[in-house]
Structure 1
Amino acid sequence: MCGEIGIPINQYYKLTHRQVANIIAGYNNKQNLLLQNSWLQTREIAFAIIQPHLDKRHKNLSKQQFMPLWFENHKPTKPKPRLTREQIKEKFKSV
C-alpha cells in the first residue's frame, strides 16, 4: 500500500500526474472536512457544558459568538484565470 491513501504501489505507478494530483486533492478535502466536523462537535459540547453557568447577560450568546471557528468566516477565493498559450509565450519571452 502506498501511504495514507492506500493505493497499491503497482497501481500508483500506472497513474498519470493529473490522477495523482486529483487523488491527493480529494484526500486533503476529506481530511479537512473531518477536522472541521471535529471542531464543530467540540464547540457543541463546550457550549452545552458552559450554557447553564452563564449569567443573564450572556445567555443569548450564539455558538458562533461563543467559539468562533476559522473556517466559518472563510470566504472562498476566486480561482485565477487560466493563461492562454500566447500569454504563456509572452511571459517566457520576458524572462
Structure 2
Amino acid sequence: MTNTNYFRHLEFELESLKRAHHAILPEWAAKKLSHHRAKENLRRAEELTSTARRIAMDRQEEFRDIHSDLSANAMEIREIEDELFPFGKRDVD
C-alpha cells in the first residue's frame, strides 16, 4: 500500500468514525439528559419527602397538644360536675 492509498484509507476510516459519532451523539445526549432529569426528580422527591415528614411531625405535635388540652378540659368538667352534683349526675331535661 502506498502512502497515498494509506492516507485515503485513513481519511475513509476517519469519515466513517465521524458518521458513527454523529449517529450516536443524539442518543447519548438523550440518555445524558434523561439521567440528569432522573437525578433532579430524585432530589426533588427527597426534598418533598423531607418536607412531608416535617409537616407530619408538626401535625402530630399539634394533635398531642390538642389531645392534652381536651383531656385537661374533660377532667375540669368532671371536677365541676362533682362539685355541682355531689351525689351523682342529674338528668336535666
TM-score bucket of the superposed structures, by smaller chain: 0.3 to 0.5
Structure 1 or 2, whichever has the larger Rg, is 2
TM-score normalised according to structure 1 size: 0.41
TM-score normalised according to structure 2 size: 0.42
Q: Which has the higher helix share?
A: 2
Question: Structure with the greater relative contact order (CA < 8 A, sep ≥ 6): 1 or 2?
Answer: 1
